[in-house]
């Protein structure tokens, strides 16, 4: 590694830390963590929705403060999601599905306290390590990213589309449907290059396009509420009270799992749309394999919470590398972060490191601070979050509906947007009902316009020659990789030795 780049990065991070621990910024971080956790623990509200719901809160702050508060919300929401996964067996997002496997078993056995603690400390360890790696890695990715022209970006986006379709959700076809529908939604509005309205049906409110946050709130918050109202039965949870602290044995079993989880989660987060599903499941499998008593798994093994939680947090933090350096959100949560940036007219990407270094490094540093604040806040407050879950469902979901409307209206003061929210909610319900993954739709909505812009720019540069898209080694290999991943099911089928069953 070129030591000067690393040194500059460390220097910048130190400066960022100074920004982040300024009293008012610290207060924002604290407030963000508190609100993020409070909203994130509500069942059915995953981290992405929490960010969407709380986005308007930050709208009136200056960018640095807003980003710092946002980082707090982000961590708080993540942690809140694990809390519901453990206490209620309702993972708010795909990354905490594995957490709920062992975590909820532990909670039912009266070990909710240690389960929540190992999740919190595991997330803390993973977040700390991952943020440090992000700080070291991001400048290098930026250097690579600066070599990227429109053709390379288009190839990268194509790769992201393919991996999103393949990794998010169980059914590729449904993932592809969600992605394409999202891209189509992103087309609505004035075409940036020719100034012509597209798919707007002459409705002036649609000329500016459809807000990402609106769609996210419709799909996630409203859609989830509709689904819960129609399909979910009353369920009583039987929670036993027990010791709140982790025992020495819990510690001994947890810390190797935290480190392994971090190591598994980080690389996946860096890949465009690597997602957190695979690394969390992988971490679970690894912990089960390495455990001295694998038969404890399925009955509340603490390693099964510690590892996947660390993998989840490391993956989500690592997702900031492509998000900050390339402007590529690889998860729904990162997509909401991107929406937060765009609210200030900031386009994440390599140039942001050059033009707004104090903002980028302030954000990375505030992730570190947010992580610490979160731990300090949540270990004592676990009891409070548990009590929050006692809110009757009807008031909880009614509050979510009102909050989603507030967030939507607050963006552009347009009642028309509330009708769009209604439509997005209905579509979200339909998707949930039919088992379509939601995240590809949001990612398509964000990346679709980028992909189109880069494609048209690339073709303008190559004067209309389609071969221009594969002219450079980088773009050719990225496109090749995308093709390989897309065709993988067919290829693996062909080369697999014939099996008798199936």
Could you give the CA distance from residue 377 to residue 129 in angstroms, rounded to a whole number? Answer: 20
Could you give the CA distance from residue 310 to residue 260 in angstroms, rounded to a whole number? Answer: 8
Cα 29 off chain centre by: 19
Helix/strand/coil (H, E, C) string of 321-333? HHHHHHCCCCCHH
Output phi, psi for 197, to 5 deg: -70, 140
Residues 79-118 that bind another protein (CB under 8 A): 87-91, 93-94, 97, 100
CB of 4 to another protein, least distance (A): 39
Contacts of 166 (CB under 8 A, 6+ apart): 172, 175, 485, 486, 488
Alpha helices (H) in 291-331, listed in sequence order: 303-318, 320-326
Does 430 participate in binding another protein (rule CB under 8 A)? yes
Q: Which is nearer to another protein, 226 or 319 (CB)?
A: 226
Q: Are 257 and 306 in contact (CB under 8 A)?
A: yes
Q: In angstroms, what CA-CA distances link 381 with 33, 89, 162, 250, 367?
A: 12, 20, 41, 20, 20
Q: Which is nearer to another protein, 390 or 497 (CB)?
A: 390
Does 305 participate in binding another protein (rule CB under 8 A)? no
Contacts of 256 (CB under 8 A, 6+ apart): none
Pick from 292, 390, 467, 502 the residue near another protein by CB under 8 A: 390
Q: Which is nearer to another protein, 197 or 256 (CB)?
A: 197
Q: Which is nearer to another protein, 152 or 417 (CB)?
A: 417
Q: Which is nearer to another protein, 239 or 296 (CB)?
A: 239
DSSP string across 157-217: HHHHHHHHHHHSSS-HHHHHHHHHHHHHHHH-EE-TTT--EES-TT-GGGTT---HHHHHI
CB of 378 to another protein, least distance (A): 17
Residues 226-285 that bind another protein (CB under 8 A): 226-237, 239
Kindly determine how many residues on this chain lie close enough to bind another protein according to the rule CB under 8 A.
Answer: 97
Does 296 participate in binding another protein (rule CB under 8 A)? no
DSSP string across 393-456: HHHHHHHHHHHHHHHHHHHH--THHHHHHHHHHHHHHHHHHTT--SHHHHHHHHHHHHHHHHHH
Residues 453-482 that bind another protein (CB under 8 A): 455-457, 459-460, 463-464
Does 2 participate in binding another protein (rule CB under 8 A)? no
Does 168 participate in binding another protein (rule CB under 8 A)? no
CB of 128 to another protein, least distance (A): 28
Q: Which is nearer to another protein, 393 or 481 (CB)?
A: 393
Q: Which is nearer to another protein, 2 or 235 (CB)?
A: 235
Q: Which is nearer to another protein, 347 or 434 (CB)?
A: 434
CB of 23 to another protein, least distance (A): 19
Question: Which is nearest to 219 in space by CA: 341, 56, 332, 98?
Answer: 332
Does 307 participate in binding another protein (rule CB under 8 A)? no
Does 180 participate in binding another protein (rule CB under 8 A)? yes
Does 419 participate in binding another protein (rule CB under 8 A)? yes
Site string for another protein, 116-155 (x = CB under 8 A): ----------------------------------------
CB of 97 to another protein, least distance (A): 6
CB of 324 to another protein, least distance (A): 26
Residues 202-231 that bind another protein (CB under 8 A): 222, 225-231
Q: Which is nearer to another protein, 16 or 300 (CB)?
A: 300
Does 409 participate in binding another protein (rule CB under 8 A)? yes
Q: Are 198 and 431 in contact (CB under 8 A)?
A: no
Q: Are 235 and 291 in contact (CB under 8 A)?
A: no
């Amino acid at each position: 590694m070129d030591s000067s780049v690393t040194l500059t990065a460390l220097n910048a991070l130190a400066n960022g830390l100074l920004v982040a621990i300024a009293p008012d910024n610290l207060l924002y971080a604290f407030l963000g963590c508190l609100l993020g956790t409070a909203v994130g623990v509500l069942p059915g509200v995953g981290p992405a929705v929490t960010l969407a719901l709380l986005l308007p809160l930050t709208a009136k702050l200056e960018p640095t403060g807003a980003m710092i508060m946002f980082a707090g919300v982000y961590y708080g929401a993540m942690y809140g999601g694990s809390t519901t996964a453990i206490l209620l067996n309702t993972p708010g997002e795909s990354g905490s599905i594995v957490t709920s496997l062992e975590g909820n078993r532990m909670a039912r056995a009266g070990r909710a306290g240690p389960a929540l603690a190992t999740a919190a400390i595991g997330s803390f360890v993973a977040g700390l390590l991952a943020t440090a790696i992000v700080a070291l890695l991001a400048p290098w990715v930026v250097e690579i990213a600066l070599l990227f022209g429109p053709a390379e970006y288009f190839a990268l986006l194509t790769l992201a589309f393919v991996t999103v379709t393949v990794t998010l959700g169980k059914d590729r076809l449904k993932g592809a449907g969600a992605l394409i529908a999202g891209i189509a939604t992103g087309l609505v509005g004035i075409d940036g290059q020719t100034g012509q309205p597209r798919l707007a049906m002459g409705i002036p409110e649609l000329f500016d396009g459809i807000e990402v946050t609106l769609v996210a709130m419709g799909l996630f918050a409203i859609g989830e509420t509709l689904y819960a109202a129609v399909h979910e039965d009353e369920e009583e949870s039987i929670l036993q009270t027990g010791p709140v602290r982790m025992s020495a044995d819990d510690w001994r079993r947890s810390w190797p799992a935290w480190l392994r989880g971090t190591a598994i989660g980080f690389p996946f987060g860096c890949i465009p749309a690597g997602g957190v599903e695979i690394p969390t499941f992988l971490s679970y499998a690894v912990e089960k394999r390495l455990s001295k008593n694998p038969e404890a798994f399925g009955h509340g093994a603490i390693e099964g919470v510690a590892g996947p939680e660390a993998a989840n947090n490391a993956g989500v933090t690592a997702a900031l590398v492509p998000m900050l350096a390339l402007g590529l959100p690889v998860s729904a949560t990162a997509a909401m972060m991107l929406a937060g940036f765009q609210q200030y007219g900031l386009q994440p990407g390599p140039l942001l490191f050059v033009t707004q270094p104090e903002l980028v490094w302030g954000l990375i540093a505030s992730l570190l601070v947010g992580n610490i604040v979160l731990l300090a806040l949540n270990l004592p407050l676990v009891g409070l979050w548990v009590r929050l879950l006692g809110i009757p469902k009807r008031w909880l979901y009614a509050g979510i509906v009102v909050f989603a409307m507030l967030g939507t209206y607050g963006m552009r003061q347009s009642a028309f947007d509330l009708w769009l929210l209604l439509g997005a909610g209905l579509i979200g319900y339909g998707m949930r009902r039919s088992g379509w993954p939601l995240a590809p739709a949001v990612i398509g909505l964000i990346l679709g316009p980028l992909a189109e812009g880069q494609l048209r720019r690339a073709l303008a540069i190559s004067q209309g020659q389609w071969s221009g898209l594969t002219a450079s080694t980088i773009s050719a290999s990225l496109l090749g990789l995308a093709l390989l991943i897309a065709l993988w099911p067919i290829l693996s089928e062909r080369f697999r030795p014939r099996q008798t069953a199936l």
